[in-house]
């Protein structure tokens, strides 16, 4: 018989009902995906902003208000639109009662971004402070919340402000720990809203964003015109818009949207475009080209509007809808009918563009055939190398036939957290391997400095053992769809050699797999430079300023250790730096950056500008190391 201490009591007192805000705070991943610290574009703090702005965009698409203002001061976010304003009598319910909202009326919000009535409530529940004000027909009303709990409901007052809604909130730092906003992510987010809503003016801390030509403007911003093989093709129809061209990069670069939502993980509309584009091109040239030859080096954007879209997750990053409307035409047929007419007509009317497209496809075909034999040998070498024992310490998410957890929600969250650390040296690899989360974190060990791949063809990826094994570990040989890890992290020493390795790795990814960087998968691991401690407390510091603050806090003469390499950090300590409080620096392409120009500048011939840049930055880094 079991000991009384081990008996689990199950009676009326064991049954508990959670308030709506408690459930959101207990399971935030169900509502906003991963939390993060702001280092990734899909981290929770950006989802909170998006959820509020989405409501403003829905107002705009129905003809209400022509601008949206976003202001961020410190960690406080303010969003003001000029739509109709939430009906004053229902304002509190709209932001604090589940399954309450105007989007259940499909006539009013037929092609809205979200129909579940949850988004704003999630923002409210996950904010330490949330204040909503609605201005409507000469009156306004304000309500104040803390962590989803109503603190004060103000009375209606007269107002001479224009109609609209203002939401001011501060994410709860007990949930979003050590978070910071990266303004480049927010700018990209606002630009996407503008591209999909031509004429809408977005403001971010006073700076104006506006697009007149929709997806054409998007591709012009994302590409270098000197590298395009032909002028951007821009096609518009009822509830669909497409822009496309080919450049000199490897892979496919497709931006997809539904009802104004950037679907970073694609979905049925993106797949429909990929398939329809191949069929139309084959039919136009009357030749059965390989699909990969047609799509390699494509840069495209596709936007559709559908009724009551179904997404595969609460964060709406992947569309699952099979039809454009209930009982209507399928997504595949809708996209194919549009391209079969509009793209075919365009190519007939523009023979120079058609000829340039054909040459790009035939170039891809030649390169694929040249690589066929090399790829086969490389695949055999990868198998013989026993990748998963010698180079890769994989995580359980991929090693097991059965997921580490049975709960689907938890498993999806684990997949989003999958991380591979690319590191150099046995000691560093050993420390990370011993301290990692074996469920979601993998380690790939480099042997020495990687090859400089600038100016090389893709043949080098298969001929170089390190890069061949790395692409197999990532499972990206045939495209990004098979990517095994959501986060690719360079874990190198913070010295000159370590920085050189980072640069060589970035060159490899930019040259051959640029989508990994463009889609926000690549990061640099930040590890502490100093350990400051006394008998009572230990503080890890990531720069000189933090070190001085730690010395001041601990007082006296604390022990100060300068970490010169990852191998000097014990596995026990390392576990603190790659766990919940991990600090990652995203590798990003800023507006105006173009891949070939970047590679030429950093890895090409030694120009005076490049030499000066390296000398100046090296001097800063060496000062930091010596201190």
- Per residue in 500-511, pLDDT (tens digit) is 898 899 999 988
Alpha helix ranges (H) inside 229-267: none
**Does the pLDDT value for residue 361 go beyond 90?**
yes
Burial zone of 626 (CB within 10 Å; 0-12 exposed, 13-18 middle, 19+ buried): exposed
**Does the pLDDT value for residue 617 go beyond 60?**
no
pLDDT in tens, 171-194: 999 999 889 999 999 999 999 999
**Does the pLDDT value for residue 625 go beyond 90?**
no
Provide mean pLDDT across the span 136-152: 95
pLDDT band at 262 (very low <50, low <70, confident <90, very high): confident
Higher per-residue confidence, 349 vs 9? 349
Q: How far is it, in rounded angstroms, from Cα 474 to Cα 154?
A: 54
Per the CB < 8 A criterion, the answer to whether 214 and 195 are in contact is: yes
Chain Cα centroid distance, residue 388: 28
Mean of pLDDT over the chain: 85
% residues pLDDT > 90 (the chain): 45
Per the CB < 8 A criterion, the answer to whether 274 and 266 are in contact is: no
- Angle (nearest 5°) at CA 575 between 573 and 579: 135
pLDDT in tens, 395-447: 888 765 455 555 555 656 677 789 999 998 777 788 888 999 998 999 999 88
At 99 the pLDDT is: 58
Strands 127-136 and 149-153: unpaired
Per the CB < 8 A criterion, the answer to whether 123 and 52 are in contact is: yes
Judged by DSSP in three states, 157 sits in strand
Ordered by where they begin, the domains of the chain are 21-209 (3.30.565.10), 215-363 (3.30.230.10), 385-527+565-626 (3.40.50.670), 528-562 (no CATH)
Q: How far is it, in rounded angstroms, from Cα 95 to Cα 500?
A: 50
Least confident of 157-166, 193-202, 447-456: 447-456
Burial per residue of 515-529, b for 16 or more beta-carbon CB atoms within 10 angstroms, e otherwise = bbbbbbbbbbbbbbb
Provide mean pLDDT across the span 249-254: 86
Higher per-residue confidence, 553 vs 425? 553
pLDDT band at 574 (very low <50, low <70, confident <90, very high): confident
At 145 the pLDDT is: 96
pLDDT band at 203 (very low <50, low <70, confident <90, very high): very high
Least confident of 344-353, 456-465, 586-595: 586-595
Provide mean pLDDT across the span 80-96: 93
Per the CB < 8 A criterion, the answer to whether 76 and 173 are in contact is: no
Least confident of 18-27, 58-67, 431-440: 18-27
Kindly state the tokens that stand for 306.
Answer: 């559908």
Q: How far is it, in rounded angstroms, from Cα 271 to Cα 123?
A: 31
At 104 the pLDDT is: 41
Q: How far is CA 206 from CA 72, 209, 392, 573, in A?
A: 10, 10, 48, 43
């Amino acid at each position: 018989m079991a000991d009384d201490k081990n008996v689990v009591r199950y009676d009326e007192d064991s049954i508990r009902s959670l308030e709506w805000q408690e459930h959101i705070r207990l399971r935030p991943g169900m509502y906003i995906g991963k939390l993060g610290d702001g280092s990734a574009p899909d981290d929770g703090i950006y989802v909170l902003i998006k959820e509020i702005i989405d409501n403003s965009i829905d107002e705009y698409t129905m003809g209400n208000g022509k601008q949206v203002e976003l202001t961020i001061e410190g960690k406080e976010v303010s969003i003001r639109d000029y739509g109709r304003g939430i009906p004053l009598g229902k304002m509190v319910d709209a932001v604090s009662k589940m399954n309450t909202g105007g989007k259940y009326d499909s006539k009013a919000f037929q092609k809205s971004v979200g129909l579940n009535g949850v988004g704003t409530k999630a923002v409210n529940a996950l904010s330490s402070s949330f204040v909503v004000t609605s201005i409507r027909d000469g009156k306004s009303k304000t309500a104040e919340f803390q962590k989803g709990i109503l603190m004060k409901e103000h009375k209606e007052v007269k107002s001479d402000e224009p109609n609209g809604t203002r939401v001011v909130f501060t994410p709860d730092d007990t949930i979003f720990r050590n978070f910071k906003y990266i303004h480049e992510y927010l700018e990209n987010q606002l630009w996407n809203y503008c591209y999909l809503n031509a004429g809408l003016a977005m403001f971010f801390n006073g700076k104006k964003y506006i697009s007149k030509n929709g997806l054409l403007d998007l591709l012009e911003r994302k590409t270098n015109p000197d590298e395009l093989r032909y002028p951007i093709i821009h096609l518009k129809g009822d509830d669909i818009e497409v822009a496309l061209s080919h450049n000199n990069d490897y892979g496919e670069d497709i931006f997809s949207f539904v009802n104004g939502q950037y679907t970073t993980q694609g979905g049925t509309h993106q797949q429909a475009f990929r398939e329809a584009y191949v069929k139309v091109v084959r039919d136009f040239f009357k030749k059965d080209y390989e699909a990969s030859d047609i799509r390699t080096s494509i840069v495209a954007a596709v936007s559709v509007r559908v009724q009551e879209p179904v997404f595969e997750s609460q964060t709406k990053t992947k569309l699952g809808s099979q039809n454009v409307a209930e009982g209507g035409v399928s997504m595949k047929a809708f996209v194919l009918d549009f391209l079969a007419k509009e793209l075919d007509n365009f190519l007939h009317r523009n023979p120079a563009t058609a000829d340039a497209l054909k040459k790009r496809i035939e170039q891809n075909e030649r390169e694929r055939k040249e690589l066929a034999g090399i790829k086969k040998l490389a695949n055999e070498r990868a198998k013989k190398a026993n990748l998963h024992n010698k180079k890769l310490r994989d995580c359980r998410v991929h090693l097991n036939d059965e997921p580490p957890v049975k709960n689907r929600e938890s498993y999806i969250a684990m997949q989003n957290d999958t991380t591979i650390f690319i590191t150099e040296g046995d000691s560093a690899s050993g420390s990370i391997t011993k301290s990692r989360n074996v469920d979601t974190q993998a380690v790939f060990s480099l042997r020495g400095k990687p090859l400089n791949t600038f100016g090389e063809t893709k043949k080098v990826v298969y001929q170089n053992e390190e890069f061949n094994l790395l692409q197999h570990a990532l499972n990206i040989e045939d495209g990004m769809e098979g990517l095994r890890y959501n986060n690719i992290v360079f874990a190198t020493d913070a010295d000159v050699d370590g920085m050189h390795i980072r640069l060589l790795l970035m060159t490899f990814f930019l040259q051959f797999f640029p989508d990994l960087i463009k889609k926000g998968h690549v990061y640099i691991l930040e590890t502490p430079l100093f350990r400051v401690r006394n008998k009572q407390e230990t503080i890890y510091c990531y720069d000189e300023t933090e070190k001085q603050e730690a010395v001041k806090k601990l007082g006296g003469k604390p022990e100060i250790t300068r970490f010169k390499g990852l191998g000097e950090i014990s596995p026990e300590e390392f576990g603190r730096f790659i766990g919940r409080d991990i600090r990652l620096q995203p590798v990003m392409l800023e507006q105006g950056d173009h891949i070939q120009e970047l590679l030429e500048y950093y890895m090409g011939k030694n120009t005076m500008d490049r030499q000066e840049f390296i000398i100046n930055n090296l001097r800063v880094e060496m000062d930091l190391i010596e201190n």
